[in-house]
Amino acid sequence: MTVRLAVRAVIVERRRLLLVNAYPGRQSDLWCAPGGGVEPHVSLPENLAREVLEETGLRIRVGAPCLINEFHDPGGSYHQVDLFFRCRIVSGALDAGWHDPEGVVNRRRFFTEAEMGGIRFKPDSLPAAAFSDRCLYDPLEALVPR
């Protein structure tokens, strides 16, 4: 079994966290921080900047890590480690005309901490990392159904 490594952006503006829905055709109501798999021989910040641009159309500056989360399938072979970094938008906007060139992300939206109480998102520890100055480790969170 190979553990997959991914990077994710924690982008908070005006006390709102940017999340994406990355299920083609709106197959799921599950939201997550933008980001994705790491390509070998490319730095983590470069990987993250590429993924965020692809998924949101935004250019970012990558800051310090703020969360390490592990997703796994307790009954299977899937195991992914997500490294979350605090990021700032340096250019771009969430305009209605944008679409993901890969066709994966279908929605992008900023949520307040209170609004996150009314949606499904992963990982569970994301609000604690996003809306505080803490750096967290969240081990072995089980995958959830779409």
At CA 28, angle to CA 10 and CA 130, rounded to 5? 15
**Other C-beta atoms lying within 10 Å of the C-beta of residue 62:** 19
Token duo for residue 39? 């390509």
What pLDDT is stored for residue 11 in this prediction? 98
DSSP class of residue 35?
Answer: E
Domains of the chain listed by start with CATH number: 4-92+101-142 (3.90.79.10)
Residue 65 in contact with residue 45, Cβ under 8 Å? no
Closest to 107 in 3D by CA, of 49, 14, 26, 6: 26
Cα separation of 58 and 30, whole Å? Answer: 21
Asked whether residue 9 carries a pLDDT value surpassing 60, the answer given is yes
pTM reported for the whole predicted model: 0.92
Token duo for residue 14? 């005006």
C-alpha distances in angstroms, 127 versus 3, 57, 73, 84, 98? 25, 23, 23, 12, 26
Asked whether residue 99 carries a pLDDT value surpassing 60, the answer given is yes
pLDDT > 90 in the chain, percent: 71
